[in-house]
Amino acid sequence: MTRGGQSRIIEVPGGYHVWTRRVGEGSLQMLTLHGGPGANHEYLEVLERHLDPAQGGPDVTFYYYDQLGSYYADQPDDTSLWTVERFREEVEAVREALGLEQFVLYGQSWGGMLAIEYALAYPEHLKGLVISNMTASIASYVAHLKTLRAALPTDVQRRLADFEAREDYFNPAYEELLVSTLYTQHLCRLDPWPDAVVRGLERISQPVYRTMQGPNEFVVTGNFAEWDRWDRLSEIRVPTLLLVGRHDTMNPADIEEMGRRMPDAEVAVLENGSHLALWDDEAAYFEALEGFLTRLEP
């Protein structure tokens, strides 16, 4: 689906390489951070339907970027690389290589966490920030997951708990139960899922994902489990758009609270959306995103 543009391989610290691709020729520059951790840019391809000045979209050039370990990047066999801090510095290396200054940083899900980290460390480079479907701490995320699970029928809760008590996370019956109950309600509510979403999930890097997140979206056992930036949100002073689906794995109330704590933030709650609201509440999602980017145009 990728429209025009130019692909570029960038060397990052450690001598590894990541993949990027420029799309468009607009005056406003935007770097995208995909979710996962360990997913890739493919599920973000819907951006091209909307961020096209020729079709009435904002005057934007945006960059896909597959983080280290992802499908189009180097995939080193070294789990010590999969940390929040190393990925933050990787983003800075990519920014420098692309020559981006006063740019917009867009992060979805895990990419939103990474965007928060980058904004706290390197605010001088940012013109704007988009945090899509990500709360300010993993503890907040886990608390909302418990609420979502508690709304399931009792027998489903019991069956999920039985698998998890045995740590039988990769049993096909457990995975099917997750998909049929939680994933279809809170990850993506479209039926069937778009091809780009299916490709993105099929190609997720399990070593990265399991090291940082855990076995699945609803069980967090990875090394970022203690991540929390609630107390530092007030330091992020660039214009910020916060996006969340009403049916998201992230609590809309948390994202609204983030908006109150950040000096120059606006919040869009997508009433029909889930964690992938860019797909299952596409019109409302992109109305908010396009409006925000248009206001940032030079």
Q: Report whether pLDDT(2) > 50.
A: no
Element holding 293 (H helix, E strand): helix 282-296
Rg, Å, the chain Cα set: 18
- What was the pLDDT predicted at 297? 81
- What was the pLDDT predicted at 53? 80
Domains and CATH numbers, the chain: 6-296 (3.40.50.1820)
Q: Are strands 240-245 and 126-132 parallel, antiparallel or unpaired?
A: parallel
For 209, other C-beta atoms within 10 Å of its C-beta total 22
Looking up tokens 């979209």 gives 57
For 10, other C-beta atoms within 10 Å of its C-beta total 18
d(CA 262, CA 264): 6
11: its two tokens? 């060397």
Q: Is the dihedral of CA 160, 161, 162, 166 positive or negative?
A: positive
Annotated catalytic residue 248: yes
Among 34, 41, 70, 109, which one carries the catalytic annotation? Answer: 109
Q: What are the tens digits of pLDDT across the range 85-94? A: 999 999 999 9
d(CA 73, CA 81): 14
Element holding 173 (H helix, E strand): helix 172-178
Q: Are strands 265-270 and 240-245 parallel, antiparallel or unpaired?
A: parallel
- What was the pLDDT predicted at 4? 57
**Reading across the β-sheet that carries 265-270, which strands appear in turn?**
6-12, 16-23, 60-66, 28-33, 103-108, 126-132, 240-245, 265-270
Q: Report whether pLDDT(20) > 80.
A: yes
- Do 13 and 92 contact (CB within 8 A), yes or no? no
Q: Which residue has the higher pLDDT, 97 or 297?
A: 97
Arithmetic mean of pLDDT, 231-236: 98
d(CA 278, CA 284): 8
User: Residue 8: CA atoms inside 13 Å, Cβ hemisphere, count?
Assistant: 15
d(CA 250, CA 138): 10
Q: Report whether pLDDT(127) > 80.
A: yes
Annotated catalytic residue 155: no
- Do 18 and 74 contact (CB within 8 A), yes or no? yes
Q: What are the tens digits of pLDDT across the range 46-63? A: 999 999 887 778 999 999
Among 140, 275, 280, 281, which one carries the catalytic annotation? Answer: 275
d(CA 20, CA 127): 20
- What was the pLDDT predicted at 1? 44
Q: Report whether pLDDT(298) > 80.
A: no
Query: For residues 271, 275, 50 and 35, what is the CA-based torsion angle, rounded to 10 degrees?
Result: 160
Among 66, 248, 280, 281, which one carries the catalytic annotation? Answer: 248
- Do 87 and 18 contact (CB within 8 A), yes or no? no
Q: Report whether pLDDT(275) > 90.
A: yes
Percent of the chain with pLDDT over 70: 99
Annotated catalytic residue 109: yes
Q: Which residues contact 62 (CB under 8 A, 6 or more apart)?
A: 22, 23, 24, 29, 30, 31, 32, 47, 51, 106
250: its two tokens? 């992230």
Q: Which residue has the higher pLDDT, 118 or 52?
A: 118
Q: What are the tens digits of pLDDT across the range 248-267? A: 999 999 999 999 999 999 99
Arithmetic mean of pLDDT, 219-239: 97
The per-residue pLDDT of the chain, averaged, comes to: 95
In DSSP terms, 119 is beta-bridged to none
Q: What are the tens digits of pLDDT across the range 150-170? A: 999 999 999 999 999 999 999
d(CA 113, CA 94): 17
Confidence of residue 95 (pLDDT cuts 50, 70, 90): very high
Residue 17, phi then psi, degrees to nearest 5: -130, 140
Arithmetic mean of pLDDT, 53-77: 93
239: its two tokens? 């214009």
Confidence of residue 198 (pLDDT cuts 50, 70, 90): very high
